[in-house]
Structure 1
Amino acid sequence: MAPAFDDDNAPLKKQDLFLGSGLAICGNLLISVSLNIQKYTHVKNSQREVERHYTKDPLWWLGLVLMGLGEVGNFTAYGFAPASLVAPLGTTTVIANLFLAAIFLKEKVRPENLFGCAVAIIGAFLIVTFSSQREVVMNAKEVVSALEQVSFIIYVCLELGALGVLLFLLYGLKMKHVVIFLLISSVTASFTVLSAKAVSGMIQISVSGYPQFNHPVLYVMLVVMVATAVIQVKYLNQAMKNFNSSIVVPTNFVFFTMSAILAGIVFYKEFNGMTSMDIGMFILGCLLSFVAVYFITVDNLFDVVKQGAAPQRVSAELVPAWMLANVNVGRVQPHGDVEHLIDPQQDTSDRTPILSSQHPPPITLADELEDAAQAGEEEREMADPTPPVGMASPLKTYGSTQ
């Protein structure tokens, strides 16, 4: 019979802490390489006269293999360190993506990006230093007991409800936006993290001489881990295919990190025994990591006019178009200048502002109260079938990249 591995009596050894951190960092580096390789294959495929399915490209499979190896590294890390420590170290993925995107996708590295890297290192230091110093390694019976917790059952119901809403938005309402893809990926990833840590812990106990292979819960958690990992990769890959990698990678990092930390708190009680100072500094480290992600990608977020693609706004990728339907501005430069994107098919002497929605939005009551005079003038101009000489070309709308 396997012994009980009570978290109150299982202080985390420093060598295990460093080993878990090292495995997580190496795994995240491999994942970053794999994502950029897969994005590169999608870009090259779109430039072909006749596109072929990405699964027929050997380079895409190389990226998938590297992602698998990276996930194995992360999986192993969960056996040596808390999930709340392993997940935030995914910031190394964003740092690596900065330089790999410069190599594969020819994106520029700027001073503010390097500042973001420095902030990320500080954040990672705080996370490692003030993370939970007690590792929760559960045997099969403890896993079953944790699954029966009321708090965990409520958590699962909320997660499944959110997943159902997201799938309805994606397939029912056809709202294909990067936030929806990545939220689906992060929700399923929370179950991947829980099951991966459970399986890793039971294997670790088995290797220690207390076999767990005769318990069905081991195989149930293994199936959950594989199934949710496949779903996670599917929607993450769709996001990488359809949206800018400089948006997908950092946004996925933020969503995944918050999801994994919450899962660790609910299921493994990883914040139990931590002082208020430890929790505060740990949260500060996470916030610094999020800030670092912004600085690492701040310039690339505005570089959304891809070669051979229609002009588009970053808001169209990050936020569903209907939420910003009344926005009618040009591209905002990092230094505050406003530049109107020009359609190369139109007269270049005219400036053509763009809308973030796919269809001209109706004028709302708020618009009328805000600027009634301007709204009335625009309505009169649109009602005139013969525009005056020298009038700017009609407004064009561009949605998010599909």
Structure 2
Amino acid sequence: MTRNRITGMRFALLFAAGATVTGISSAQDGLTYSRDIAPILQEKCVTCHNPDGIGPMPLLNYAQVQPFAYLIKDRTSNRIMPPWHVDPDIGIQQFKNDASLSDEQIGMISAWVDAGAPQGDPADLPPPVELPSGADWQLAEQLGPPDFIVRSTPYDVIANGQDQWWEPRVEFAGLEEERWLRAAEFKPSYPLGKKVVHHGHAVLIPEGEQRSVALARYGVGKSWEIYPEGTGMLVPPNGTIAWNLHYFPIGAEAPADVVEVGLWFYPEGERPELATVGEAMFRVDGLKGRARGQDIIIPPHGYQVLQGTHVIQQPAVIHSFRPHLHMRGKVMTMEAIYPDGNREVLSQVNKYDHNWQIAYIYEDHVKPLLPTGTVLQFTSVFDNTANNPINPDPEQWVIFGRRGVDEMSHAWVGITYVNEEQFAQAVAERRAQQETLSLE
């Protein structure tokens, strides 16, 4: 079941059971849609909830918002929407892409609905936001058009059926020399492609080499990546793109679907200070980088906990954390065990939802700095009970597999390995920042 189908079902069930909001009540001195609620929705909701977005309904104006007022209150007060699944009480809390609502914003929405969801004076509305089309490159406004575009071969997505995978090999050619990658965006076709592509990867295998270069990785909630300032990935001039695309039918055919990846490079001849590998996979269900299917066996109406450990062999900076589980996955924790024996929970996702593949991008001043010998320990919790709202069937035994109804467990971690001198410099800069903040 896709994210759209699940979300739509949840909205429909609650809306059918609830009463409608008349919007007649007025609160001249209280909260209104125009003055207080519209700015929140513009900031946190309309990126998805617009006619071209993946949300089940647009929320761009009062006429669109008012019928769903009770539903909006329920979803926001229970922190189901906007989708943001980091545990707010454990680990680092400063993220560049934080989509969550503050307690104050949630309280405002609840109080506004309880007061009858008054519209207020339209003159108080904020200026309308300009939303990019689903057919546009999302990074174009910031970076301009891509310097280079690679495309998959077409695939016919059927209207109904189980998970489907498309893994074509496509020649990568056109660069005259190796270039340093600054940013990449993974763009499913529009409009149906954005609804049927659950996640995917575009990996470059350089000509005559065994290594691979992950140009772009995608999931609903993560479509692009801009590397930190002074950081880039070296891209060879030719080779083969190995595509790995996970499709899920949504009831409508998507014929000849093509996925594109846009690449933005540093200027020719410019070399960034740091070379990154981008997102690297850290397995929880495996050993030495390979999946071990026998690790996952979840009983009906039961739970399972898995742990995986990885020793960091050279200093590293972590930029982002993106858990990957399936429908029974509920929790993933990333913990650092430092060489001196101290332990620190870096991040914990405690309300994981397979319908979203969010990369949690750390603010620069809190990025984990890991010395050589640090152990990264990942802990995953699976819930195969009826308490799991997206569990398709708690009566089933669940084992390892690629389908959404099977399970797997790994984390995609944005990581850059550095040398000892660069690490010492990063630590010194972090300490200076902390001292400055303590004096303010």
Same fold by TM-score greater than 0.5: no
TM-score w.r.t. the length of structure 2 is: 0.21
Relative contact order: is structure 1 or structure 2 higher (C-alpha 8 Å, sep ≥ 6)?
1
More helix by share: 1
Bigger fraction of residues in strand: 2
Structure ID, larger Rg: 1
